[in-house]
Amino acid sequence: MGQHFLVDPRGVKLFLEPLSRAPHRDMVEVGPGLGALTLHVADIASRIVAVEVDRSLARHLSSIAPENVSIIIGDGVSYSRATSLKVLYSNTPYNISSVILRAIAENNNITYSILGVQKELASRIVAEPGSPDYGRLTLLVRRYFKVRIVGLIHRSYYYPQPEVDGAVVELSRVKEWAEGDEAFEEISRCLFSGRNKKASKMISKCMGVEGGLKWLEGKRVRDLTVEDLENLLKLYK
């Protein structure tokens, strides 16, 4: 299934340090794989619900997991959207990292997450307005979370080795997802289709709003902050 398993203790340590300070001790792990994280996190967690889509890996982990670990065979993204537990961690499959981020944002029960993602995606999450990495994903994540890069995971920490390096990111919720928040994504998606164009021009195209935007004078779309989008959303409504 194209998995890359974390096997180096230095990579595991990047998850354990922040999880030891997690605000709650009941945790969800998405994609435990061979259990490299699970078996260590079990020492600091009261309970772990580990969701694994691969049945053979789930059976293996069930045979070695301690009593405070429950193994569920299923889709980790769907479980991320539905869980009532407040802490989620995952060394995410790189091809679905952004999907898991959105699922976590939508689930207000999750207040704290530690995720392993590709280094490029981590750079996008923490990018500053105007920088090349800044975009829609930045806005989505930063609207709901305070974000910090814990450390980098070198590709050699995995077996088999992936083609890119990774990073561990910490997400602490600062805002709840509310009904109608899809509009924020719709607006940002349209605006960033012209990321280098004048913000006022793209706002007129995407939202039909003209005038009263002097506070955005001189800004390009790539310079818009979460606060700018929040204010635009009020006009959109």
At 130-159, the pLDDT tens digits run 999 999 999 999 999 999 999 999 999 999
Q: Judge if 17 and 94 occupy the same domain.
A: yes
Work out how many domains the chain is built from and give that number.
Answer: 2
Tell me the residue range of the domain where 45 lies. Answer: 5-173
Q: Please give the average per-residue pLDDT across 187-212, as a whole number.
A: 90
Q: Judge if 156 and 213 occupy the same domain.
A: no
Choose the final residue of a domain: 155, 173, 191.
173
Q: Judge if 77 and 99 occupy the same domain.
A: yes
Q: Judge if 93 and 164 occupy the same domain.
A: yes
Task: Indicate the range of 78-87, 125-134, 209-218 predicted with least confidence.
Answer: 209-218
**Which among 170, 176, 218 has a CA at the least distance from the CA of 184?**
176
Contacts of residue 29, Cβ cutoff 8 Å, sequence gap at least 6: 37, 38, 41, 48, 49, 50, 51, 88, 89, 90
Q: Please give the average per-residue pLDDT across 101-129, as a whole number.
A: 97
Q: What confidence tier does 236 reach under pLDDT thresholds 50, 70, 90?
A: low
Q: Judge if 25 and 127 occupy the same domain.
A: yes
- pLDDT value at residue 3: 78
HEC assignment per residue over 172-220: EECCCCCCCCHHHHHHHHHHHHHCCCEHHHHHHHHHCCCCCCHHHCCCE
Q: Judge if 23 and 116 occupy the same domain.
A: yes
Q: Judge if 48 and 83 occupy the same domain.
A: yes
At 61-108, the pLDDT tens digits run 999 999 999 999 999 999 999 999 999 999 998 889 999 999 999 999
Choose the final residue of a domain: 149, 173, 197.
173
Indicate which CATH number applies to the domain containing 73. 3.40.50.150
